[in-house]
Amino acid sequence: MGRLQNSEGGFGGDADGKARRRPCGLPCGMDISYPPDAAVYREKVQAFLGEHLPADWRGLGALGHAEAGEFTKSWRSTLSANGYLALSWPKEFGGAGLTPLESVVLAEEFAKAGVPTGGSNDGFGISMLGNTMLKWGTDEQKRHYLPRVLSGEDLWCQGYSEPAAGSDLGNLGCRAELDGDEWIINGQKIWTSGGHTANHIFVLARTDSTAQKHRGISFLLVDMRQPGVEVRPIKMMSGESEFNEVFFSDARCRRGDVLGEVNGGWAVAMTLLGNERGAGAAVNAIGFRVELNRVTELARQRGLTQDPHIRQRLARAHTSVEIMRYAGYKALTSFLNGKQPGADASTGKLFWSQYHQEITELAVDILGADAMTPTGQGPHGAFRFDAPGAPNDSANWVGVFYNARAGTIYAGTSQVQKGIVGEQILGLPKEPRADGGPWNEIPGHG
C-alpha cells in the first residue's frame, strides 16, 4: 500500500502521485499492497491476539449474550493494560499514539478475529467525543474528560436527534439558557443509543433562538446523574431496547462545559458526524464478507445453492461486498493522506445500508417459514452485521434483518445522504428552503 499513500484520489500511482500508464495510454491497475512496516505491525497485533484469546476462540458472536458482555468488559481491561485503547489519541492524553496505518492494521486484525475494539459505550466516548475534543476542546477539557473516558469512569452517549429534528438536525429545539455559571437545559432527545448504560451525554442545544437555525446551537457536555435528566428506553420490534428517549427538565452543566464556541456547535457536531460516518471504512467489508459467508453456508445447509434465483442474489451480494472493499481502500487512501472524512463518507453509508437490507432479506427468504417462528440466539447488537462466530439460527438472522431496517435511518437517513452527495459531490443546485431566517420565526417555533 506504499503506492496508495502517494495517490490522492485512489490506489496506484508513482511517487509523484501521477497514475502509471500502460503503453496504450490507459492507467495501470490499482496497487493495493501494504508497505513492509505494515506487515511487521500486523504480526505484532496477531501475536497479541494469539496470546490473549482462548485457543478455541471463534469470535464474539459464538458466545451467549451474558458471556459476551462479561468478555467485553474483561477484554477492554486487557486492551487498556496493553495500550490498545484510543488508538489514534496522542500518548500525552493516554492514547496509543499509533500512526494512521497502524490504526487501520489493528482494526483489520480485530475485525478478522471477531473481537471488539473497546467497551459498549467507547464508540461514543473514544471514537466520537474523544477525537472531536482533541480538535475542539480546551486544555482544561482535555485534561478533565479524556482520562475519565479511557478509565471507563465516564460513559458517553449522543444527544442529537429530536422528535422534530432527525433528518433535519438543524431544526432542533432543545434549549439551554445561561444562568450565572451554569447552563439550564430543557427539552428532549430521541433515538439515543446506549443512553441506558451511559452516565454522560453530549447534547446539541439551542442557545440563541434569534439566530439562523444552524448558528444558534452549542455543543454541551452533560452529566446524566442528576434529577433533571430522565432516560426512557424504547422497545424495538426485536423486543430489545438499544435506543432511548432522554428528557431534560432544568438539567444543568457548567458554563465551561461547551465544546467549541457558544453558538458554534454546528461545526463541532459536523466534525463528530464525520468521525461517525467515516469510521470503519477500511474494515466494513471484512464484517460484511463474514456475514455473506454465513448466508452462503445457510443456503448450502438448506440445499439452495443450485437455485438460480438464490445464486444470482448471492453473486450480487459478492459483487457488492467487493465494491465496499475497494471503496474502503479508496477511503483508506484519503485517510493515510491526512484527509478527514467528508461528503464521500455519505456514498459509503448509502451503499452499505441499502446492501444490508438486501442481504438480510435474502437470508430470511432462505429460511422460509422458519423465519416466522425464529428460534435460537438473537444478535448481540442493533447495528449492522452480527459479530463473527454468530450461529446460523433463525432468531439471529431475523434479528439482524430487523436491525438492517434501521440502517438507512441512523447516522443520517438515506434521504439526507443523497442530498449531501447531490449538492457536495455532484454539484447539483441546493434545494430551495423556506427556513433561512431566525429560528424563532420559523413556523412552529417560538
Residues annotated as part of the active site:
276
Query: How do beta strands 200-206 and 156-159 pair?
Result: parallel
How far is CA 365 from each of CA 148, 309, 313, rounded to the nearest angstrom?
46, 11, 11
How far apart (Å, rounded) are the C-alpha atoms in residues 239 and 234?
9
Q: CB of 324 within 8 A of CB of 285? A: yes
The answer to whether residues 299 and 310 touch, using CB atoms and an 8 Å cutoff, is yes
Whole-angstrom CA distances from 274 to 221, 280, 303, 313, 340 are 19, 12, 43, 32, 7
What is the C-alpha separation between 71 and 61, in angstroms, rounded?
11
Q: Output the CA angle 192-273-140, nearest 5 degrees.
A: 90
**Nearest in space to 268 (alpha carbons), one of 145, 85, 131, 114:** 131
Contacts (Cβ under 8 Å, ≥6 apart) of 339: none
Helix (H, G, I), strand (E, B) or coil at 213: coil
Query: Which triple of cell numbers denotes residue 18?
Result: 501521477
Residue 357's Cβ-count burial label (10 Å; 0-12, 13-18, 19+) is middle
Whole-angstrom Cα distance, residue 125 to residue 145? 10
Residue type, 444: G
Report the C-alpha gap between 175 and 185 in whole angstroms. 6
Cell of 182: 451554569
User: Identity (one letter) of the amino acid at 107?
Assistant: A
Helices (H), 53-138: 65-81, 100-113, 122, 131-136
- Interatomic CA distance for residues 319 and 300, integer angstroms: 19
The DSSP letter of residue 301 is: H
